[in-house]
Amino acid sequence: MSDFEPVVVVFACDYCAYTAADVAGRMNLSYPTGVRILRVPCTGKVEPQYIMQALQKGADGVMVAGCLVGDCHFKNGNLRAAVRVKRVQGLLDEIGIGGERVAMVHVSAGQGAQFAEAATEFSRKIGEMGPNPIKQGAKAAA
Amino acid sequence: MNQENNQRTSNTVLVLGGGIAGIKASYDLAEAGRQVYLLEKKPALGGFLPLLDRQFPTNDCNICYLSPDADKAGGARTVQTMPLTKLVALEGQAGNFTARVLTSPRYINTDRCNACGACLAACPQGAISFTPGLDTNSPTCLRYPQATPQAFAINMAKCDRCGECIKVCAPEAIDLDQQEVEQSLEVGSVVLASGAEVWDPAPMEEWYGHKRFPDVLTSLEFEQLMSAAGPTGGAFQRPSDGRRPKRIGWIQCAGSRTTKDGGNSYCSSICCMISMKEAIWAMEHFEQDLEATVFFMDMRPMGKDYELYYQRAKNDLGINFVRCRPHTVDRHEQTGDLRMTYVDDEGSLGEVELDLVVLATGFCAASDSQDQAAALGIDLSPYRFVNSDEFSPVSTSRPGVYACGMALGPQDIPGSLTQASAAGCLASADLAAPRALRREEDLPKERDLSGEEPRIGVFFVDWGKVVQEVVDSKAVEQAAANMAGVVHVETLELSYGQSGLAALEKAITDSRINRVVVAGYSPRTHGRIFAEAIRKAGLNRAYLEMANIREQDAFVHQGDSQAATAKAITLVRTAVAGVRQAKPTPSLTLPFNPDALVVGGGVAGMSAALGLAGQGGKVYLVERSRQLGGLANELARTLNGRPVAPELAELVEQVKGNPNIEILTDTLVVDHKGQVGGFITGVQSGPGMFYRQINHGVTILATGARRYEPTEYLYGQNSRVMTQLEMEKLLANGQGGDKLDTVVMIQCVGSRNDDNPTCGRICCRSAVKNALWIKEQKPDAQVFVLYRDMRMPFTSEDVYRKAREEGVLFVRYSPEQPPRVEQSGDTLEVIFRDHILGRDLSVEPSALVLSTPQIAADEDTEELCEIFRLQQGPGGFLLEDHPKVKPIDTPAPGVFAAGSVLAPASLAEARTQGLAAAGRALTLLSQMNLVLDTPVAKVNRDRCAACLVCVRTCPYGIPYINADGYSEIDPAQCLGCGVCAAECPAQAIQLPGYEDERMLSRTEALLEGVL
């Protein structure tokens, strides 16, 4: 399991988290190469099915990254996202994939270091959990 | 403003100073179709703001709110930023100035520098600095992604020309032989926004030990200590021994409100709020284990609703507030802890042990303000700030030169931004009539792609050295060429200048490309530029997707070339998959009505009307009463003793004499519909309630406030009890001011209590004004002012001092022990406690004057809010769009507000806000058409079940169920967050660019090969 490099899909809001990821780049910080970012206008746009689809397509973890609480550019989209993430976590627990494979984080546009740290930490955690069980299913089927 | 039309030929404004005031003025002007030269002495824009960790009263990082505006206007490319540049001389006159400016060498060519950081690492002398907000060693994080310019600068004083930086600079941006450049700029007007400086507490070192003791910091130093990107990396440690401070004391008025130790006699106005913000921050993080104490003379949270912030700090967060005069700070030899002595409210000596002391140092005029004033030919106040007056608060002594921000004196961000918009409005009036912005007809017709298969062009743009080293570009190009739908792969060698974009446009035409992927830059910084480029080539702006190879791949995976290359291919594949499904976003073109409606004919409304008149179309000024002037009609003189009536009369005359303003007095607004650019408002006029509809493009609300009618202290029952306004009238009419032997004034009547927790803001100044006027009419009169905190911002502190010198007695009372007023027979008695004497005093006044606030005109404001779909905030005043960064905008696009409808306002504030509202409105009125092309949510009516989920979830209340029974979303109002699309249970709503199938395709492409 030591050479397992998890693939993490990040849904990052345009106003804060996506910008923070850019800042992380400009600060020459690093995080694992398995972290792959998709831009959304607001985390309030992230639907539960996006998260489920990412897991279904083989992501080992999904991180939804929005603005700091109280700082959402669209007032409260990040709070809606947080509620949805909770809901998806419940579902994942039920079907045995594990709710911890999904996380909500909050960073401001300037917090490049915090973004890199969150992405690294989440990858590490997913690394410990091992690959998404769906993968084994897919491999077995093949 | 008095220029003849034929002289107004320039379309350019010179803005001096690149702090937030200068940036705001520039971007307002740019949005209004003006050209701007934005000069900044330092290597980059930003001013104080990037040095602040967070800002009161929201305690957020507000740059995230400001930057989209900057971004938008930056797209217009009409602001030319000139860093390291100062004004040398200004010749000519309003409408036709020649400005001579001097640019110091940066030694780095900003056109070439890609901010890769190689030179910073290579420089052995530390002579290279990054722009504020970007420097990882600086006290800030990158709070301002659009920091302009994104480039380094070399400090020649430290540089020994070793040439190491030249060797490592891939884009060959370094030029150590650059010389200073002097040039002349032709401009029509000037906005001075050069800011202020933080007062250096060195003269007080003996008392407070700043620099002597490492744990005595200034506010700004403390701010850096709190910052996650600060010197301690967010660890909250005191400088001396790295221990986390558990007892922190803030010393207010360090260097302000004093005539000693080289301090300033004025009040710095914002330090109380800054200290509270810092204390709240600390308290919120270390509540269990922190004692935060603010040592103060008067707490002066002066801005709108700042009083509530103070109450929260005191009552909910447990921050201690000690009213005292701080004396000295000492350091304990063994423990290293600090000991502060002070004289408390009752005159006794107090002592407290602290781990960390923060000096709330005020602000002072910039050290070069005199040179700059000389270059501009304008007058300064004795404090070396720009001299202005209550009636022309953003004008200087030279016509055509305006000022805003801290150049006028210390003030908060909303105040600076408001003045910036006001100065921009006046500066614009000196220019030629504005040219319409971005007209769709200038662009080629969009190609009709119906029936065409996707023909995708992938362009690799500006990879730069770091990316080239990490990512195998050949491999990525090959992979891209094999992706479905890709017909063209090209590397654009040039930095994104016009030539690079021209090559892109040519390839689109030559290869019949109908969808574009740009691989390299972040869409955050460069999306708009490439969207405009493909639009110029005849493609809808939505046919673009970007693969962020720089920031989100190469830069962060420098140690793993192989994985970074694979990820680059993945990112390009994802962009290709996404763009394949792109659909054009129709741009909605609405004719923009250039007329404006101003509701309310007080000082704010009249100022707004005059600000707009002649710069747009017609202005309709609607006033419910019979006369213009509002509450100002009842004022006799200003705090500085200037008569109000002549100035007010002149303002009314200007309005009445302006051919572009139609005045409708005795008129009420009754209904309102439409959207920005096309509003229709119904009004009823005169005794016959004659109804008519006004068509207009923008709306400014300036309906004012009303006077609080006191029920306290026998008001209305005893003829000697009156309000400040009534006293003012008495003094103005000579109705016996000379017979006043003893006058008692009681502050905060009807404010700062349970019924009205907000501060009246201007009642302290009214009291001081009238107290001095009484002394003027009868020098031996005894005047007592019973107060809770005397709130006298900036130079009004000097008037307060003068009142004390003239013998006015200021006696503090606590809300727990308010003054008592008793009447028996013919005598009126006021009993109050004197804290210094420690006993009750009794006075029989010839007049008892109650300082009552302006309060929200509740029912009227409520009705107004209903009609214009706005909201009321605390105390019933109109809620602005954002208390910090959009103080004059309302949440409704195209609707602005000014004056005491927002909060109790002084004359100068009403005047400034009126002009600012006009300035904000001009950003819209310059447009011939309103072109909306950002993706907005679209409803599929066949799927809509009218379940109301979208109506309830939209953060802006935009969707509604229309007459046909399905949800309708006004594309002119939707901001494109996509929340409704995410929540719609029937998936009847889609957000273009983020449709469900497109998100799925992206996800699949992003995860291709993982399973």
Residue B1007 belongs to some domain of the structure: no
Q: How far apart are CA B991 and CA A45, in angstroms?
A: 9
Same domain, B340 and B410: no
A49/B994 Cβ within 8 A: no
Same domain, B860 and B809: no
Furthest-apart CA pair in chain B: how many Å?
A: 102
CATH number at residue B833: 3.50.50.60
Interface test with A, best of B62, B64, B545 (most A CBs within 10 A): B64
CB-CB: which of B142, B522, B555 is closest to A28? B555
Q: Report the residue of chain B nearest A116, measured CA to CA.
A: B556
- Domain span holding position B313: 197-364
Same domain, B891 and B966: no
Contacts of A9 in chain B (CB under 8 A): 1003, 1006-1007
Please give the pLDDT value at position B136: 35
* For residue B149, cis peptide bond before it (omega within 30 degrees of 0): yes
Q: How far apart are CA B775 and CA B809, in angstroms?
A: 12
Same domain, B308 and B382: no
Residue B128 belongs to some domain of the structure: no
Residue B967 belongs to some domain of the structure: yes
Contacts of B554 in chain A (CB under 8 A): 25
Greater confidence (B163 vs B458) lies with B458
Same domain, B731 and B821: yes
Residue B751 DSSP SS3: coil
Same domain, B658 and B715: no
* Alpha helix segments (H runs only) across B806-879: 858-868
Alpha-carbon gap: A94 to the closest alpha carbon of chain B (Å): 22
Residue B160 belongs to some domain of the structure: no
Greater confidence (B573 vs B18) lies with B573
Same domain, B39 and B188: yes
pLDDT in tens, B544-601: 999 999 889 999 998 899 999 999 999 999 999 999 999 998 877 778 899 999 999 9
Residue B984 belongs to some domain of the structure: yes
Contact B476, B490 (CB under 8 A): no
Q: Determine the average pLDDT of the residues in B677-685.
A: 93
CATH number at residue B969: 3.30.70.20
Contacts of B1007 in chain A (CB under 8 A): 7, 9, 36, 54, 57-59
Contacts of A107 in chain B (CB under 8 A): none
Tokens for B907, please give them.
């004359």
The amino acid at residue B471 is V
Residue B996 belongs to some domain of the structure: no
Same domain, B191 and B201: no
Alpha-carbon gap: B162 to the closest alpha carbon of chain A (Å): 25
Please give the pLDDT value at position A105: 96
B560/A113 Cβ within 8 A: no
Same domain, B209 and B346: yes
Overall domain count for chain B: 6
pLDDT in tens, B120-149: 778 887 777 654 433 333 322 333 434 456
Q: How far apart are CA B477 and CA B482, in angstroms?
A: 9
Alpha-carbon gap: B9 to the closest alpha carbon of chain A (Å): 39
Residue B164 belongs to some domain of the structure: no
Alpha-carbon gap: A113 to the closest alpha carbon of chain B (Å): 8
Average pLDDT of every residue of chain B: 88
Q: Is A8-141 a CATH 3.40.50 domain?
A: yes
**pLDDT above 70: percentage of residues in chain B:** 91
Q: Determine the average pLDDT of the residues in B210-234.
A: 81
Please give the pLDDT value at position B974: 86
Please give the pLDDT value at position B140: 29
Domain limit, last residue, from B926, B959, B980: B926
DSSP states of B324-387: EEEEEEEE-TTT--EEEEEEETTS-EEEEEESEEEEEE-EEE-TTHHHHHHHHT--B-TTSSBP
Domain limit, last residue, from B364, B395, B410: B364
Pairing of strands B35-40, B12-16: parallel
Domain limit, last residue, from B926, B949, B980: B926
Same domain, B964 and B881: no
Please give the pLDDT value at position B115: 67
B551/A25 Cβ within 8 A: yes
Backbone phi, psi, residue B307, to 5°: -55, -35
Contacts of A80 in chain B (CB under 8 A): 953, 979, 982-983
Q: Is pLDDT above 50 for B194?
A: yes
ipTM of the complex: 0.97
A49/B61 Cβ within 8 A: no
A112/B142 Cβ within 8 A: yes
Of B134, B133, B180, which Cα lies nearest the Cα of B156?
B180
Q: Is pLDDT above 50 for B836?
A: yes
Same domain, B727 and B845: yes
* Alpha helix segments (H runs only) across B778-906: 796-805, 858-868
Residue B382 belongs to some domain of the structure: yes
Q: How confident is the model at residue A69 (pLDDT cuts 50, 70, 90)?
A: confident
Tokens for B634, please give them.
């009842």
Q: How confident is the model at residue B59 (pLDDT cuts 50, 70, 90)?
A: low
Q: Is pLDDT above 80 for B49?
A: no
pLDDT in tens, B249-299: 999 999 999 988 788 999 999 999 999 999 998 887 777 789 999 999 999
Tokens for B876, please give them.
């019933």
| CB atoms inside a 10 Å sphere around CB B284 | 11
Contact B328, B340 (CB under 8 A): yes
Q: How far apart are CA B27 and CA B38, in angstroms?
A: 10
* Alpha helix segments (H runs only) across B395-497: 413-429, 464-470, 473-481
Q: Is pLDDT above 60 for B755?
A: yes
Same domain, B283 and B405: no
Q: How confident is the model at residue B457 (pLDDT cuts 50, 70, 90)?
A: very high
